[in-house]
Amino acid sequence: MDPTEQKRSQGDDWNAHILRVRNHRDEAAFAALFGHFAPRIKGFLIKSGASGTMAEECAQETMITLWHKAHLFDPSRASAATWIFTIARNKKIDAFRRAARPEPEDLPWGPEPAPEAADALALSQETEHLASALNALPEKQREIVKRAYYGDLTHSELAEETGLPLGTIKSRIRLALDRLRQTLNEPVK
Amino acid sequence: MTVKHLLNEQLLMGYAAGILPEAFDLVVASHLSLSDESRAMLGSYEAVGGVVMEETESVEMTADALGSVMARIKSGKAIPQKPTLRPTKPGVLPEPLQDYVGGDVEKIKWRSLGGGVKQAILPTSGKAQARLLLIPAGAAVPDHGHRGTELTLVLQGSFSDKVDHFTRGDIEIANEDLNHQPIAGPEEDCICLAATDAPLRFNSLIPRLLQPIFRI
């Protein structure tokens, strides 16, 4: 099977795996997530400058955090890969710094108790489009984007436009904005 | 509230990637707490991060990794968390900033810079520096240039310079090309969070983050 095709069908599947961990503490689902994501997290962290030992430890801690924080996973806000990326990123920063990284305030995401399945599906499709769009970028641009995420860019490269087609996830941004605007409190003036 | 001046692509991507110096992370996290639009944009840059991670060549985990992780989960021992103090009281300072100050504006330990202008330097690791600035209503900050990148986030009141007028939540991104003299709006004292990476250039900071820095 074409690898892109395979990934495409797997995006939703990984979401479902996390939901099984969340709802049923399903160890088989967790093992499958571990098999897929842990080596990728480790590879990503090594590319970002971590030693093999540190990358292994961060990858393990990321997966432990996934288990413990599965109740925070919301497939209408982030895909499985996106959510796991943010956990791994924070583990990396925590390993480098004395204090936790500053995170934005938690904002409520609207009065509805459960995200609509349609939102989750739209997000999942847009993330897939984003992946194909990233792969469709010219080699040089694609490399710049990847190296930006590894923290491996020179000043001039960082200033260069990446040409990332973020318009492909426009409707996700709109959804997120609509939700936030419904609930965002006016800050103190 | 509509925030007019938002982050640029490089800073959002840098924050999503986790490669900014701590002082810049603090400004970005504070801005994100005040701008729903920037926050929504951040979501897309994080999605890019997920895609990049998916496509990075994987490196095999040690043989007993899964077993060891399951054992750690079942032992019920939590992973030690870095200390954070998260007050719940909304105030002038967004929560990520209250973590650094230890509370809202009344907890800021100001030091006078003369002319009514005050500053408070916040503890961050790395060479970029974060500080809170208080400019009395209607007063000016001495004209200054920048050797590196300076981010200024308005938290209270407003200021104007030759670029534009900036109000709560707005962020001004200045580099060495900009010499400006910010003047606080007349309505109230202006409080800003500013971060500078001078005298270092932006690029020289990033490799530093890859070193294990615990305290400088």
Decide if pLDDT at A173 tops 50. Answer: no
Distance CA B154, CA B92 (A): 10
Which residues of chain B have a CB within 8 Å of the CB of A177? 36-37, 40
Classify the phi-psi angles of B8: left when phi > 0, otherwise alpha if psi is within -120 to 50, otherwise beta: beta
**Lowest-confidence segment of A57-61, A156-160, B126-130 by average pLDDT:** A156-160
Q: What is the topology classification, in CATH, of domain A3-183?
A: Rna Polymerase Sigma Factor; Chain: A (1.10.1740)
pLDDT value at B87 more than 60: no
| Count of CB pairs separated by less than 8 Å, A with B | 244
Helix, strand, or coil (residue B122)? strand
Which residues of chain A from 38 to 77 reach within 8 Å of chain B, CB to CB? Answer: 38-44, 46-50, 52, 54-56, 59-61, 63-65, 67-68, 77
**Residue B156: its pLDDT value, please?**
96
User: pLDDT at position B207, please?
Assistant: 35
pLDDT in tens, A48-79: 888 999 999 999 999 999 999 999 898 887 88
pLDDT at A43: 97
CA distances from B61 to A19, A21, B34 (A): 24, 21, 40
DSSP labels, chain A: --HHHHHHHHHHHHHHHHHHHHHH--HHHHHHHHHHHHHHHHHHHHHTT--HHHHHHHHHHHHHHHHHHGGG--TTT--HHHHHHHHHHHHHHHHHSSSPPP-PPP----S-SS--HHHHHHHHHHHHHHHHHHHHS-HHHHHHHHHHHHT---HHHHHS-----GGGGHHHHHHHHHHHHHHPPPPP-
Stretch (H or E) spanning B68 = helix B65-74
Rounded to the nearest integer, the mean pLDDT of chain A is 75
Q: From CA B98, how far away is CA B107, in angstroms rounded?
A: 9
Which residues on neighbouring strands pair with residue B196, listed in sequence order? B129, B150
Question: Which chain B residues are Cβ-neighbours of A3 within 8 angstroms?
Answer: none
Query: pLDDT, tens digit, for every residue of A11-41?
Result: 778 999 999 999 999 999 999 999 999 999 9
**Residue from A33, A158, A186 to probe the interface with B (highest B Cβ count within 10 Å):** A158
Cα A1 to Cα B112: distance, rounded to the nearest angstrom: 67
DSSP B148: S
- Helix (H) / strand (E) element for B113: namely strand B111-114
Contacts with B203 from chain A: Cβ below 8 Å: 153-155, 158
Nearest alpha-carbon partner for B150 in B125, B167, B133, B136: B133
pLDDT for B188 = 95
Q: Which residues, 6+ apart, have CB-to-CB distance to A145 below 8 Å?
A: A134, A137, A162, A164, B48, B52
Domain segments of chain B as ranges:
1-216
> What local confidence, expressed as pLDDT, does residue B124 receive?
87
Domain B1-216: state its class.
mainly beta
Letter for the amino acid at A100? A
Q: Rounded to whole angstroms, what are the CA distances from A150 to A89, A143, B162? A: 10, 10, 36
Chain A residues inside the 8 Å CB shell of B54? 7, 40, 81, 131
Cβ within 8 Å of residue B7, ≥6 positions away: B15, B28, B31, B38, B41, B171, B173
| In the predicted structure, residue A182 carries a pLDDT above the cut 70 | no
Average pLDDT over residues B154-180: 87
Per-residue pLDDT tens over the stretch B193-206 = 999 875 433 333 44
- Choose among B12, B61, B70: nearest CA to B41: B12
Identify the weakest region by mean pLDDT among A81-85, A144-148, A179-183, B149-153: A179-183
Binary contact (A61, B84; C-beta < 8 A): no
| Residue B71 pLDDT exceeds 70 | yes
Burial readout B134-143 (b: 16 or more C-beta within 10 A, e: otherwise): bbeeebbbee
Taking an 8 Å cut-off on Cβ atoms, the answer to whether B49 and A149 are in contact is: yes
Polymer length in residues for chain B: 216
Please state whether the peptide bond connecting residue B199 to the residue before it is cis, i.e. omega within 30 degrees of 0: yes
**What percent of chain B clears pLDDT 90, i.e. is strictly above it?**
42
CB of B196 closer than 8 Å to CB of B146 = yes
Joined together, the tokens standing for residue A131 give 């992946």
Q: ipTM score here?
A: 0.80
| 3-class secondary structure, B60 | coil
pLDDT at A172 over 60: no
pLDDT at A86 over 80: yes
Residues of chain A with C-beta less than 8 angstroms from the C-beta of B7: none
SS (H, E, C) B150-205: EEEEEEECEEECCCCEEECCCEEEECCCCCECCEECCCCCEEEEEEECCCCCHHHH
pLDDT band at B38 (very low <50, low <70, confident <90, very high): confident
Nearest CB to B215; choose among A59, A98, A164:
A98
A17 min Cα distance to partner chain B (Å): 16
**What was the pLDDT predicted at B90?**
75
Q: What is the mean pLDDT of chain B?
A: 81
- The structural domains of chain A, with segments of one domain joined by +, span 3-183
CB atoms within 10 A of CB B160: 17
On chain B, the residues whose CB falls within 8 A of the CB of A162 are 9, 13
Confidence grade of residue B108 (pLDDT, cut at 50, 70, 90): very high
Query: Is A102–B26 a contact, with Cβ atoms under 8 angstroms apart?
Result: yes
The pLDDT, as a whole number, for residue B210 is 35
Say if residues A33 and A14 touch (Cβ distance below 8 Å): yes
The alpha carbons of chain A give a radius of gyration, in whole angstroms, of 18
